Amino acid sequence: MLFEVHKEGKIAHSEIENGEKRPVALHKYASSLLSLDNSRYYLTEYSGDWADEVNMSQTELNFGKKVLDSKLGSRASMFMPSFFQLSLDAPATETQGSVLVGTLAWTGNYRFTFEVDHNDRLRVISGINPYFSSRQLKAGETFTTPDFIFTYSTQGFGQASRNLHTWARNFRLKNGTGDRMTLLNNWEATFFDFDEAKLVGLMDDAVRLGVDMFLLDDGWFGNKYPRSSDHQGLGDWRETESKLPHKVGYLCEQAAKRGIKFGIWIEPEMVNPKSELYEQHRDWVIHLPNRKEYYFRNQLVLDLSNPQVQDHVFGVVDRLMTAYPQIAFFKWDCNSPITNIYSPWLKGQQEHLYVDYVRGLYNVLERIRAKYPDLPMMLCSGGGGRIDYEALRYFTEFWPSDNTDPVERLYIQWGFSSVYPAKAQCAHVTSWNKQASIKFRVDVASMGKLGFDIKCSDLNDDEIGFCRQAIATYNRLKPVVLDGDMYRLVSPYEGNHAATMMVDAGRSRAVLFAFDIHPRYREHLLPVKLQGLDPDRHYRVSEVNRMGGWPLSCDGHTYSGQWLMTVGLPLFGNSQLTSHVLELTAE
């Protein structure tokens, strides 16, 4: 087992070399084995489903084995992301306790095994799920397992998360120290029903809001089978002539005239049976011969173990970028797990499929990065169905969930922040949960990489004005929000409120987000103690993103860092779905 050591944590993987003269078969292999000798062990895991991602639960580990795993193939994290938190000796908190946090950098099936023996020692085995993943190694061939990335903290979950966030921004996340673009997506405004005029009108909305980019989502391609729903067209990456007679180039030009960027949605690993690609290349599709095909979301997965398919998938991006070099962003989706598990390409080596599929994906992404090194891309998978630190070598950000209800997003963003930094989490303002004000929705989304997916015609002038000002404020505070150290102050899991703050590296600026979700009548409210500040400096507190009503009582006042961290601020109230954003500046 080989280690790469950073001050924030460690990376482990295994290299298995066949030194024999004949081929050997690997049936079980792992990236790492950690042996722990503590009095007790408490495993925090995250599970869910589409639009219900990363629900947190904690279990004490006793004698025996507990396994966290996936066998879904392409959309491997749909039910459970590939990370965990382990409290040692006693349940940890955000600020106290010994914690080990681990995650596997592999965009496919994984397995974590936790085994407590009769002496109360714990072994943690991490790696690719060996299910249907045997390997044949030729003489002299070496098989390298994925990276297992882990960190250890004696100061609770919070410090462990900050360790990983800092490491990711500096060493793993694509353009981890660079900027991120705000955007307006057309999906909720149009779904599949649009034409050039409607899209250009939405670009005008993007200008009104003041975002950086307009993103065209699903539904722009296919001619024999136009993409008017998710039942057809997937795989035929040519513009639908009835929708886009002047093609994508016209949209790029219209965006440029308005001073914004243009981005586009693709799902290049997938195919609808009702498509020209399927009719011409059924041998490119993962499917069982002589069996009825099973469709997940009306589609099948292309066989990326096949080099011809890799060329095709790379060509989807390459053709668009060659024809329209003005494209500034791709949203790369992946809506189906692998079903009908059989590769026409691999023939007698079917057990290589799960691993070779992922390796084929990495080959494609490596080619894209080599030719278009500065191209930002979003990692999407019907929401949070595919997230890991190997994929994030190639993607600047990921889409945590299709569920954009701001209340639900407080939980979802909290869960993913245990491992992934705010800079990597796309957070969009949408029409989900109309009981929440536009301010509440914007404030929740401003804790990540801010975007909008909303019909501006549903907003009045005051709401548009608020959004525009909030985006300007977000752009000013981005260096703190996206690159600062995150401190999770109040968990939504623990009551009716939530609070998170980000502090810059010099501890001279901070941004604090506070939310009243569903407070009880006459609930006893306590001040919130801040973290991460310099106790010897004084900070002026200013409430930003205001939209009517009274500011918090602390607005405009100056406090010592020691006061803020030991006494705290009165951030919460008794009103439903209320939010506050505070900017703290050292004087």
Distances (CA, A) of 221 to 235, 239, 316, 373, 493: 9, 4, 12, 26, 42
User: What 3-state class would DSSP assign to 553?
Assistant: coil
Compute the Cα dihedral for 403, 50, 513, 523 and give only its sign.
positive
Cβ-contact 569, 530 below 8 angstroms: yes
Looking at residue 249, its amino acid is G
User: Mapping DSSP to helix (H, G, I), strand (E, B) and coil, where does residue 277 land?
Assistant: helix
3-state SS, residue 116: strand
| Residue 232 neighbours by CB under 8 Å, 6+ apart | 222, 225, 226, 272, 274, 275
Is residue 440 within 8 A of residue 448, CB to CB? The reply is no
d(CA 215, CA 187): 9
Query: From CA 335, how far away is CA 343, in angstroms rounded?
Result: 19
Beta-bridge partners for 503: 485, 510
Query: At which residue do the structure tokens 């991460």 appear?
Result: 532
Do residues 303 and 289 lie in contact, with contact meaning Cβ atoms separated by under 8 Å? no
Active site residue 230: no
User: Which residue carries 């882990």 as its tokens?
Assistant: 150
Q: Which residues of 469-499 are buried (b: 16+ CB within 10 A; e: fewer)?
A: bbbebbeebbebbbbbbbbbbbbbeeebbbb
Please choose, from the candidates 218, 184, 219, 181, the residue with its C-alpha nearest in 3D space to the C-alpha of residue 204: 184
Residue 5 CA to residue 377 CA, distance in Å, equals 28
Strand partners, 184: 214, 452
Residue 52 is classified by DSSP as S
Examine the residue annotation and report whether 89 is marked as an active-site residue of this protein.
no
Which CA distances in Å does 275 have to 232, 300, 305, 474, 579?
Answer: 6, 11, 21, 42, 47
Cα of first residue to Cα of last residue in the chain, in angstroms, is 49
DSSP 315-372: HHHHHHHHH-TTEEEEEE-------S---TTTTT-GGGHHHHHHHHHHHHHHHHHHHS
C-beta of residue 469 within 8 angstroms of C-beta of residue 444 = no
Residue 87 CA, distance from chain mean position: 24
Instruction: Tell me the backbone φ, ψ of residue 301, rounded to 5 degrees.
Output: -105, 135
Q: What angle do CA 89, 496, 434 make, to 5 degrees?
A: 130
Structure-block tokens of residue 501? 């703050």
Angle (CA) 346-390-134 rounded to 5° is 35
From the list 212, 333, 388, 483, the catalytic residue is 333
Instruction: Exactly one of 147, 236, 388, 402 is catalytic; name it.
Output: 402
Catalytic residues: 333, 402
